[in-house]
Amino acid sequence: MTKPTQFSKTLRAWMDTFMHRSMRGWSHFAKSTGLSMPQFSILMQLHHKGPCGMSEISERFDVSAAAASQLVDKLVQAGYLARAEDPADRRARLLALSDKGKELINQGAEERHRWMDELASKISTEERARVTEALEILIKAAHQLEEKY
Amino acid sequence: MTKPTQFSKTLRAWMDTFMHRSMRGWSHFAKSTGLSMPQFSILMQLHHKGPCGMSEISERFDVSAAAASQLVDKLVQAGYLARAEDPADRRARLLALSDKGKELINQGAEERHRWMDELASKISTEERARVTEALEILIKAAHQLEEKY
DNA sequence: GCATAAAGTTAAGTCCGATTAACTAAAAAG
DNA sequence: CTTTTTAGTTAATCGGACTTAACTTTATGC
């Protein structure tokens, strides 16, 4: 954490390359669906974390409850989200991706993953094995970090 | 490219895990600077690709020349960008990050890179060597792809 | 050189996200 | 059972991003 090692330098270089590229693909796809970036982000969040209440949306995105409510409302009207009453607490809402919403997310993932397949084509078979192994190490480490909080 | 190999599956898994995480940090930082997402994206683009003209901005972000002009104007007024006349073509402008702009980008990179250092702490020394090697392979492949277009 | 095209800018208007304030309904606290 | 807190919605409004249209300035094509 004090001085950057070769490892962390390489990790940063990769992230810079990778982030820049995938960000473009991501926002391009969001635009092509007609959804705004905040709207798309909400769908992404639902996809990653599963169903949640309205308050969690406003916390995650650091906006007021009113803003979250309005944003979600548009997504519900567009058919991407289901908004149901929480049977355990009738004040609360249960937000979840609809089938249409799930399909959209999958489509987006496809687009964003396409360049990875191109990437794979630039890497020899023996290298792929080593890269796969290394990424698995990274993924495991990342999950360990996630658990902490 | 036809059927997903183990390699490409792992690559995708890594992408999903890390995109979600770093996107949050990125937009959080953008917000903390008081800059909007589009404004911040322009700074990022200048950082990655170096100085360019106004027309390139509008092409990259797929907005009208008018929108680009207005967006850039705000960044110039805020002191993040320098807008000079192109000596070779006096209609054109040369846009570049100012020192303040560069500093902001570096700060952002620090924030986004912090969790990578935490990640490093979860990985043993011998594993780091292998991961470093693998990432270098990926970086090289990514740059080969960039050159294509 | 004159017409046309290209690079930006400015202005007016639209749309969307976000805020505050006022409100409803349900749960928790006492 | 009444008070207070919590979850969410609605309305009015603000500001920012984006668009089209009209314009200025500079380069290019015949």
Does residue A13 sit at the B interface (CB-CB below 8 Å)? yes
Please state, in angstroms and rounded to a whole number, the distance separating the CA atoms of residues B98 and B86.
16
* A1 is a domain residue: no
Domain range holding A128? 6-147
Return the top range by mean pLDDT from A24-38, A135-149, B85-99, B128-142.
B85-99
E strand or H helix that includes residue A94: strand A89-97
Six-digit token pair at B82?
């320098």
Compute φ and ψ for A78, nearest 5 degrees. Answer: -80, -5
Give the best-scoring range by mean pLDDT among A21-25, B94-98, B110-114, B129-133: B94-98
Question: Tell me, what's the pLDDT at A4?
Answer: 64
Rounded CA separation B106/B100 (Å): 10
Pairing status of strand A89-97 against strand A81-86: antiparallel
**CA gap A89, A38 in Å, rounded:** 27
The full 3-state SS of A76-93, as one line of letters, equals HHCCCEEEEEECCEEEEE
End-to-end CA, chain A: 19
The C-alpha torsion from A72 through A77 and A81 to A82, rounded to 10°, is 100
Mean pLDDT by 10 residues, chain A (149 residues): 72 83 84 93 95 97 97 97 97 98 93 84 91 92 78
Among A15-24, B76-85, B100-109, the minimum mean pLDDT is found in A15-24
The closest CB to that of B37, out of A37, A112, A113, belongs to A37
CATH code where residue B126 lies: 1.10.10.10
Burial A98-117 (b: 16+ CB within 10 A, else e): beebeebbeebbeebbebbb
- Chain B residue numbers touching A137 (CB-CB < 8 A): 123, 127, 130-131
Report d(CA A48, CA A95) in Å as an integer: 13
Residues with CB under 7 A from strand C: A 36, 38-39, 61-64, 66-67, 70-71, 74, 89-91; B 53-55, 65-66, 68-70, 72-73, 83, 86, 89, 91-93
For chains A and B, CB pairs below 8 A equal: 161
Between CA A25 and CA A31, with CA A30 as vertex, the angle to 5 degrees is 100
pLDDT at A35 (0 to 100): 94
Check CB contact of B7 with chain A, cutoff 8 Å. yes
Alpha-carbon distance of B77 to B60, in angstroms, equals 22
Query: pLDDT for B7-58, tens place per residue?
Result: 888 888 888 888 888 888 888 899 899 999 999 999 999 999 999 999 999 9
- Which chain B residues have a beta carbon less than 8 Å from that of A142? 17-18, 21, 119
pTM of the prediction? 0.88
- DSSP single-letter state for residue A60: H
Mean pLDDT of B76-97: 97
Distance CA B55, CA A142 (A): 40
Question: Domain tally for chain A?
Answer: 1
pLDDT number for residue A60 = 94
- Cβ A66 to strand D below 7 Å: yes
